[in-house]
Amino acid sequence: MLRAESVVISHDLVGWEFLGGATVVQTWHGNALKTIGKDAGSDSALIREWLQTHLLQDWDYITVTGGGTPKRTFGSAFQYSEDQIVETGYPRNDPLYREIDYSGLDGIGKHESWRDHINENKCILYMPTWRRGIYGSEGKAIEDHGLELESVGEFCEQRGFEFLLKLHPSEEGETDDYDAVHTLPEYLDIYDVLSDVDILVTDYSSIYFDYLHVNKPIVFYPYDLDTYESMRGFYFDYDEVTPGPSAFSQSELLRSLDEFMCGNDQYEPQRRQLLNEFYDHTDGKSSKRIMRILE
């Protein structure tokens, strides 16, 4: 790190004191539905702001996916200058446009085996938001995420689908008792398999913005919307930026999934509209644009 001329990060930087004069590019970790940075107003955000101002080395650039809505949002959250907020797109979306040999990265083919499994089966991916600070410091356990997994598994098995859970690394969930329900391992890079998923289910996670590149159905499951919004805060009206049905109970969730399973998808125009609002680039070349900044 002492010798590095450039450093690319997506979260907080560990070992910042060893950076010297390196150029730091913050790629962040998703388009913001929930308030972030200085807009969040939480104790952790205020501490981070103080550290960033008085102690840590500032980021030289922060990447966003578009010069309109995303740039305004991140400009508000971090108060960076116009030329520091760069509309490169997110590198993690590049794998949605081309295949990357992940099996060569982990050395034992774990990514490849999961990719093959998801590619060969009809799959629903459920990625709930980690509710840290909403229901205590630890968030919610998987059994509290509004699902009765046995009936979900039976529903999917009857229709020839598999139900995949991808939890936050700080959460755990056991699904070994269900034939059609599986927990994806923590090590799995979801962007290696996201384009092969048939239906996405989420609540407030930024993963749905990324999934817009795939243009497949999304079911929103904000079963605790009022509580979550009052505690965390949103940048936008939830209904206006969620291009899919919103289910507030498991029975509503299964009905919405059933509609998509039968091929009834009326939300393609809304997904395209939101993609155009939040992304200037849909070419899978975000990494190249970042490299040009560092040349």
How do residues 112-123 score in pLDDT, each as one tens digit? Answer: 788 889 999 999
Q: Is the pLDDT of residue 273 over 80?
A: yes
In a domain, 94, yes or no: no
Do 184 and 164 meet the contact criterion of CB atoms below 8 Å apart?
yes
d(CA 146, CA 131): 13
In a domain, 184, yes or no: yes
Q: Compute the average pLDDT of residues 138-151.
A: 75
Same domain, 17 and 142: no
pLDDT of residue 146: 77
d(CA 105, CA 100): 10
Q: Choose the most confident range, by mean pLDDT, from 16-30, 89-103, 222-236.
A: 222-236
- What is the helix (H) or strand (E) element at residue 127, kind and residue range? strand 122-127
Q: Compute the average pLDDT of residues 76-105.
A: 86
Range of the domain at 36: 6-89+283-294
Indicate the pLDDT class of residue 154, thresholds 50, 70 and 90. very high
pLDDT of residue 140: 67
Query: Which residue would you say has higher pLDDT here, 218 or 188?
Result: 218
pLDDT of residue 58: 76
Tell the burial category of 233 from Cβ atoms under 10 Å away from its Cβ (0-12, 13-18, 19+). middle
Same domain, 265 and 128: yes
Query: Cα-flanking dihedrals φ and ψ of residue 262, to 5°?
Result: -85, 0
Q: Compute the average pLDDT of residues 205-220.
A: 97
Same domain, 266 and 290: no
pLDDT of residue 43: 59
pLDDT of residue 293: 92
Indicate the pLDDT class of residue 174, thresholds 50, 70 and 90. low
Same domain, 48 and 194: no
In a domain, 112, yes or no: yes
In a domain, 163, yes or no: yes
pLDDT of residue 99: 80
pLDDT of residue 292: 95
- Report the percent of the chain where pLDDT is more than 90: 59
Same domain, 256 and 149: yes
Q: Is the pLDDT of residue 211 over 80?
A: yes
pLDDT of residue 244: 98
Same domain, 229 and 129: yes
Same domain, 239 and 259: yes
In the chain, the amino acid numbered 117 is: H
Average pLDDT, the chain: 87
* pLDDT tens sequence across 1-42: 888 999 999 987 777 778 878 899 999 989 999 998 888 876
Same domain, 191 and 207: yes
Indicate the pLDDT class of residue 188, thresholds 50, 70 and 90. confident
- Report the percent of the chain where pLDDT is more than 70: 83
Which residues is 25 bridged to in the sheet? 8, 61
pLDDT of residue 18: 80
Do 188 and 114 meet the contact criterion of CB atoms below 8 Å apart?
yes
pLDDT of residue 220: 98
Q: What pTM did the predictor assign? A: 0.91
Same domain, 290 and 239: no
Locus of tokens 């970042």: 290
